[in-house]
Structure 1
Amino acid sequence: MNVIGRTPIIETRRLALREPLSADAQRLTELIDYDIAKMTTRMPWPYSPEDADAFVVQVQMQDRRRDNTFAITLEGEGLIGVLGFFLTPEGRTEVGYWIGRPYWGRGLASEALMGALSWASRDWRKRLVVAGHFADNPASGRVLCKAGFLYTGIVDAKPSRARGEPADTRMMVWLA
């Protein structure tokens, strides 16, 4: 593991996960479309250059003991998505991620998530991570299952900024 500032660099077979930088803002706005934004809780739609700039600033100010956000990069392509761990109001570590549409179906989300969970367990000492996916996004459920998450049987109504309304969310848990 390498470190730039306070954020680790996680390397997998095809990817590097690193701190999002100001230079990534334009790429974020290029990759994010409504189909990505509507599958997240926090991402607005439309997604503007100002939203991207604000996201990068927010991430750079994170308390790394609680939250860690990574730009998912692919050699020769640059940034292809984002993965982040954050502390929930209940005090649990939750993970969320997205991958740009041109990179769907190649196993990159699974690879990024497995690399991040390995780091979270080994270096960040996390033993339990929660996640959820909107019920109308079964592909995300498959990614989580491949990484070792199990369904809890709980379905919560989670907000979706892009949709402007809550969406049924199938909750999952991962144990190190």
Structure 2
Amino acid sequence: MIDKFSIPCIILSGGKSQRMGEDKSLLPFGSSSSLIEFQYNRLKPYFQNIYISSKLDKFSFLQDKKELIIDENIDIYSPILALQTIIKTLENEKVFIITVDTPFITLEIIEKLINSSNNFDITIAQTSFGTHNLCGVFSKTTLTLIEDMIKSDIHKINYLIKNSRTQNLYFENEEEFLNLNDKAEYKKALKIIN
């Protein structure tokens, strides 16, 4: 029996998947019928609560529809809008955010991000490649800035990160942060998982 994280996990799955050319969250992955199902099943045992953030309900495997957070604004694709809806929807002071297309982020990485997040508004992962802006812990304290950004039509996650008390935690292994943006990265990930 493992101690589950009390902080909720939210898998972001509402992007356009433009570079992939089709909805990457629904692509088959490993022994799962879709990448989103793989991520959900992989992470669920470690969190007391897990949610999927999306523009619409496209997840037939999801038994409990309370685990789905639909963006308030379904016309504009922006992680800032997704964060606003997530933070407003959930009561928690902090949430752990991960994207659907990063299936190799380990439990050790997640644990380090959560355990190091206490005195910060945002705690995100960094590798030699750069920061991984949507892999980390986000606090309710960011909501005012997020709402101001939306009013000002600012949708850059970097803006939120630069204007918050942010901590970047460094991780060595770049491979664990492999991001499935296009067909080549998807094929590479399939080789790893198989």
TM-score, normalization by structure 1: 0.31
**Higher-helix-fraction structure:** 2
**Higher-strand-fraction structure:** 1
* Structure index of larger Rg: 2
